[in-house]
Chains A and B, each alone.
Chain A
Amino acid sequence: MKKIVLLLIILLAAYGSASADLLPDGKKKVSYNFRIENIDSYPDYSFLVYPVNVSNGIPVLHSYFVKDSSWIDIFCKFGSPALYIIKNSDLNKSALDSINSIGDNNTRANALREFFDSKKSLMTRSASINCTSYVERDAKYDVIQDELKIEKASGDSLVINNSKTFYKDKYGNILEAKDSKSGVRDDVVTPAASYTGYLLIILPVLALVLIVSIVLIRKMKKH
């Protein structure tokens, strides 16, 4: 019996420490994604995100191309990546692709560092991504979406501002939205967000009860 209790204590302790490693105390994990709304206006430039960690465990670093204005999901347990801009003519895309496809984590991380160091003079860096992976456990939202806008992009400067931030629940309802000028904007907040969740449960139950009732009434009528 003592052995079993001891085993349970060890298991609980191990579970506790493993959980603590994954999720900070009092926090919950949220998804973060961003998009650059006017990227199509800069066809002569390539936009890169680096370093992007794709793992929840040990860092697994990659670099992403921002190809269009669609949403890009990033995980940022180890900090926010930066946005880089470089002229298409100065960038060897296939070289960067081959570095990203390196299997070994350390080799890829070193190669990426070397690549970005070697292009330092040709690239402009912006710190405009404000990535968040953990928020207070009480927070109602599960997703943070940043809409970025390029104000100025040229060979020696990159100005990207955050134009809007959306806070959404897991169903995609906007719970809160902020823009860079006026703060909270009520007009884009989904007012029904609070009751949609209940509807998704109540409606099928109600429908099922009615369907079963119809079948039973038909059977009773037959008899």
Chain B
Amino acid sequence: MSFYLTVLFITIAVEYVVYVLFFRKDFLSLFFYAILINLFTHPLAYYFYNYLSGPLNSSAFNIYFLIVELVVFLTETVLIMILFRIDLKKAVLLSFLSNFATALLSFAV
């Protein structure tokens, strides 16, 4: 399996766990929404991060990482609000938690 698909699956899995811990119900819907949200944001984030920082950048943490993460956070907030039909505050919190978890994981891997 390609490196990219592995990273994508891990991201979906981690965000799904965060959603499950947050809602604690409708597990199948949460899984479907986790896939949808990440299929939209992850490829774009991956592309723009590589495009902006280039594959030469040996450091995973740089200004481009922050910019891409911020855009992903905002986009996912909107998508979470729409798909989960929750208010803005909860969407911001959930988006922050899920992206924080995956960002932490990206440093660990």
Same complex:
yes
- On A, residues with C-beta under 8 Å from B are 31, 33, 70-71, 73, 143, 168, 170-173, 190-193, 195-196, 199-201, 203-204, 206-208, 210-211, 214-215
Given A190-B3, A207-B36: A143 touches B43 (CB 8 Å cut-off):
no
Instruction: Enumerate B40-56 residues with CB–CB distance to A below 8 Å.
Output: 40-44, 46-47, 50-51, 54-56
Q: Are B55 and A204 in contact (CB under 8 A)?
A: no
CA distance A14 to B55 in the complex (A): 33
Partner of A207, one of B4, B40, B50: B40
Q: Which residues of B contact A199 (CB under 8 A)?
A: 4-5, 43
Q: Is the interface of B mostly helix, strand, loop or mixed?
A: helix
Q: Are A211 and B2 in contact (CB under 8 A)?
A: no
Q: Which residues of A contact B44 (CB under 8 A)?
A: 200, 204
Residue of B nearest to A215 (CB): B82
CA distance A214 to B54 in the complex (A): 36
CA distance A187 to B5 in the complex (A): 19
B17 interface contact, C-beta 8 A: no
Q: Are B55 and A200 in contact (CB under 8 A)?
A: no
CB distance from A80 to the nearest CB of B (A): 17
Residue with the greatest number of chain B CB neighbours at <10 A, chosen from A70, A168, A193, A196: A196
B62 interface contact, C-beta 8 A: no
Q: Which residues of A contact B41 (CB under 8 A)?
A: 204
Partner of B56, one of A31, A192, A201, A208: A31
CA distance A207 to B40 in the complex (A): 5
CA distance A171 to B41 in the complex (A): 16
CB distance from A206 to the nearest CB of B (A): 7
| Contact sample, A vs B, 16 pairs, CB 8 Å cutoff | A31-B55, A33-B56, A71-B56, A71-B58, A170-B55, A171-B47, A171-B55, A193-B2, A200-B44, A200-B47, A203-B42, A204-B39, A207-B40, A208-B40, A211-B36, A211-B79
CB distance from B46 to the nearest CB of A (A): 6
Q: Are B3 and A70 in contact (CB under 8 A)?
A: no
Partner of A192, one of B2, B36, B43, B51: B2
Q: Are B58 and A70 in contact (CB under 8 A)?
A: yes
Q: Are A203 and B39 in contact (CB under 8 A)?
A: yes
CA distance A95 to B106 in the complex (A): 39
CA distance A73 to B83 in the complex (A): 43
Residue of B nearest to A70 (CB): B58
Q: Are B2 and A200 in contact (CB under 8 A)?
A: no
Q: A143-B54, A190-B2 are in contact. List 14 more A-B contacts (CB 8 A).
A: A31-B55, A31-B56, A168-B55, A170-B50, A170-B51, A171-B4, A190-B3, A196-B4, A200-B4, A203-B39, A203-B42, A203-B43, A211-B36, A214-B83
